[in-house]
Structure 1
């Protein structure tokens, strides 16, 4: 699914969703794939298949410990590259043969980006202005839209769509800004990207 989108770095999740090394993993669904993201002991980010290769238990319930995500069912442990690095009661040469799907990640501008396409066609890392400015100069939010991505993009960049169809939203937005100005609260600058 999404062969075109797989050729680019795409936003997978916000940095605040996995803030701490060895913290709990976060579920991520991208392009029809169910994944988990986690920050290992060293702070490296893993984005791997959600389900353990052994009994398909969800790694979202896993323990993030000692540079890997350990399945709570039988203890198989995976690193950020999807390699099985530990299996209780099995010889090491067996775990060396087990690997989950894993995608490269890069953290820039408060966003964890991933590339899900062919390894030999990996593009340069994202280079948007929002990735280069300090946190105090950007505002981000995450919205899950169950829709066709192209139609959502077209609606977002169509200059006549919002003021016509969503005019009550823009009026409410103006009223909210006026209240903030009257209460002498400094407004953040919001930009569409």
Structure 2
């Protein structure tokens, strides 16, 4: 599937995850940077993502939203990039990719809104308190170069991005396990290329909330 890829994003968004993934895949793509607000609510863009959010991609006639789903899709759509383990070895790959997109996102999203779960709410919601989420993920990356086996994968793009941003913005403690894991990933050429392109686009867009 070598059709054209259009990547919808904003330089101040989780689109940075997908940008890194696209650079790892190594195929041509077109970037459509959208400002928050009206630009994401036009009929044309709502036909891509009815939620009116980024990131999203359009690959030929295929539309995919949600950063974790896009990473998994691109790994499968371009197997020559070897960004997913063999299908018989994907236990850790799926587990940690969706652990971060599920429990991590929900747990830290609640905390960022000033909500601290009671034990009863934690049981009902199923995402766990942030401290527990961090303990589990720290154990997963401890003494491991990659999260899902012997090779770098799309799961490292997604998990690594959250760990890197969390430490950068102070939402998670810079535990030794996280620092060691992230230091191995952040110097990847594809990550550096995506970061440079994202930073170059930032002056043209207002910082959200300002």
Which category of TM-score, normalised to the shorter sequence, fits these structures?
under 0.3
TM-score (norm. length: structure 1): 0.24
TM-score (norm. length: structure 2): 0.23
More helix per residue: 2
Larger Rg: 1
Higher relative contact order (CA 8 A, sep 6+): 2
